[in-house]
Amino acid sequence: MIGEIWTYKATKPSDNMEKVRPVLIIGNDEENGLKFIDINYVIISSSASCGKYDVRIEEKIAKEIGLNRESIIKTTKIYTGSKTKLGRKICELPYPIKEEFKKKYKEYQENIICNL
């Protein structure tokens, strides 16, 4: 499950409405020794601009893996939510994109720690 893209019924912070969107699973309760209830995920957006720590999935690759259009993995948008809101598995994140995500996610986390 970790490293996979799934559909997820996420609540939009701006209006508290639910929207089904693709997310990248980055963790779960099992890794913390707990019963598997929650997941950690980052949003994948097709409308946001690409920031310093974000990862762009070009349109050709996006369509090949099951996304509708060019998308951005929002590395800084980390959420915890219920496993019950997962929909369908879209794909395993391709290796080169996974490596880029890991690099940028690590840079973002190190930036947070350094600024505490």
Please say whether the beta carbons of 42 and 27 come within 8 A.
Answer: no
For the chain, the domain total comes to 1
Three-class secondary structure assignment of 69-116: CCEEEEEEEEEEEEHHHEEEEEEECCHHHHHHHHHHHHHHHHHHHHCC
% of residues, the chain, pLDDT over 70: 95
Q: What is the CATH number of the domain that holds 11?
A: 2.30.30.110
State pTM to two decimals.
Answer: 0.89
Structural domain range at position 88: 4-114
Q: Per residue in 22-45, pLDDT tens?
A: 999 999 877 666 666 889 999 999
Single-letter code of the amino acid located at 105: Y
